[in-house]
């Protein structure tokens, strides 16, 4: 969705390695309104197209696709846009529960991008772990001839996952935002010292208490789940996946990791 940072650029570089010197790299930049719910930050979402294009030129991107809302969601004499792609299993929990229409918007726009660009593969970042899993499922279920590649999370020096929304973190919020990665590290330490599976409910309570120590932090959710099915687990072991969402002031951040 634009406002590119080093995490995005790592996706471009991963794509370049996969295509080789003769391949073509296309980057889509589009702040998709269908991914935002009521009272979310669509109008304020950070945008800097001139800077994005400069970074794409530096990375020797071949095509930058910058569609308009009218092009992606046409309205004409036959009526308003009314066709959506809905994944009904992986999208129910976590981000899907907190933002009910988010994945419908994401799956729809990505399906349209695939039809327009017709790529051989598409590179997604692991920070949006649930989204990447949904795209893999959509491609499988709807027979898209596209390979989904998931690249690792890029982090700041203090562990905060890179995100366009980090721009919102002013003053002490930036320091408090370390609580997301700190929560993951805390659970990793508990698992390392445990001789048997650990109760997910107990870990959730500890993480919530840990987040609550930050004066401007508010937990949205923390979940422990199977990395492939995204089904929640009652007992956490090595290899279980963890994801959480936390509000820092009005800014909502997400993070995840395999434990």
User: What are the structural domain ranges in the chain?
Assistant: 6-151, 164-258
Write the pLDDT tens digit of every residue in 107-124: 999 999 999 999 999 999
Q: How confident is the model at residue 188 (pLDDT cuts 50, 70, 90)?
A: very high
Helix (H, G, I), strand (E, B) or coil at 225: strand
What CATH code would you report for 164-258? 3.30.1300.10
Q: Which residues contact 83 (CB under 8 A, 6 or more apart)?
A: 108
User: What is the mean pLDDT of the segment spanning 93-112?
Assistant: 97
Encoding tokens for residue 210?
């840990």
Q: How far is CA 190 from the centre of its chain?
A: 26
User: Is pLDDT of 77 > 80?
Assistant: no
> Domain 6-151 adopts which CATH fold?
Rossmann fold (3.40.50)
Q: Give CA–CA dist 259/252, Å, rounded.
A: 23
Positive/negative CA dihedral, 237, 238, 243, 247: positive
User: Is pLDDT of 21 > 90?
Assistant: no
Largest Cα–Cα separation, the chain: 66
User: Is pLDDT of 39 > 90?
Assistant: no
Q: What is the DSSP letter of 194?
A: -
User: H or E element: which one contains 222?
Assistant: strand 217-225
User: Is pLDDT of 101 > 90?
Assistant: yes
- Entry pTM: 0.95
Rounded to the nearest 10 degrees, the angle between the axes of helix 200-212 and helix 179-193 is 140
Q: Give CA–CA dist 30/207, Å, rounded.
A: 34
Of 35-44, 154-163, 174-183, give the lowest mean pLDDT range: 35-44
| Residues that are catalytic | 8
Q: Give CA–CA dist 1/109, Å, rounded.
A: 11
Beta carbons of 130 and 150 less than 8 angstroms apart: no
User: What is the mean pLDDT of the segment spanning 86-115?
Assistant: 97
Q: Give CA–CA dist 160/6, Å, rounded.
A: 13
Of 77-81, 115-119, 176-180, 232-236, give the lowest mean pLDDT range: 77-81
Q: Give CA–CA dist 211/204, Å, rounded.
A: 11
Same fold, 6-151 and 164-258: no
Q: How confident is the model at residue 20 (pLDDT cuts 50, 70, 90)?
A: confident
What is the model's pLDDT at position 132?
Answer: 98
């Amino acid at each position: 969705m634009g406002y590119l940072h080093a995490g995005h650029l790592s996706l471009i570089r991963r794509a370049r390695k996969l295509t080789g010197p003769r391949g073509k790299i296309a980057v889509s930049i589009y702040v998709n309104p269908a991914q935002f719910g009521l009272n979310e930050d669509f109008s304020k979402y950070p945008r800097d197209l001139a800077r994005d294009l400069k970074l794409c030129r530096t990375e020797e991107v071949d095509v930058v696709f910058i569609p308009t809302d009218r092009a992606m969601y046409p309205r004409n004499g036959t009526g308003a846009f009314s066709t959506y792609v809905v994944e009904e299993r992986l999208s129910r929990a976590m981000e899907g529960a907190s933002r009910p229409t988010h994945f419908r918007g994401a799956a729809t726009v990505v399906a349209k991008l695939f039809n327009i660009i017709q790529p051989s593969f598409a590179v997604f970042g692991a920070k949006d772990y649930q989204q990447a899993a949904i795209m893999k499922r959509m491609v499988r279920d709807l027979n898209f001839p596209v390979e989904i590649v998931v690249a690792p999370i890029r982090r700041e020096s203090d562990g905060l996952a890179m995100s366009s929304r980090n721009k919102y973190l002013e003053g002490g919020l930036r320091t408090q935002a370390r609580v997301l990665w700190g929560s993951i590290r805390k659970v990793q330490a508990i698992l390392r010292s445990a001789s048997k599976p650990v109760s997910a409910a107990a870990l959730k309570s500890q993480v919530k208490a840990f987040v609550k120590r930050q004066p401007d932090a508010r937990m949205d959710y923390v979940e422990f789940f199977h990395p492939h099915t995204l089904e929640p687990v009652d007992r956490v072991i090595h290899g279980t996946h963890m994801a959480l969402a936390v509000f820092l002031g009005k800014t909502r951040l997400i993070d995840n990791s395999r434990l």
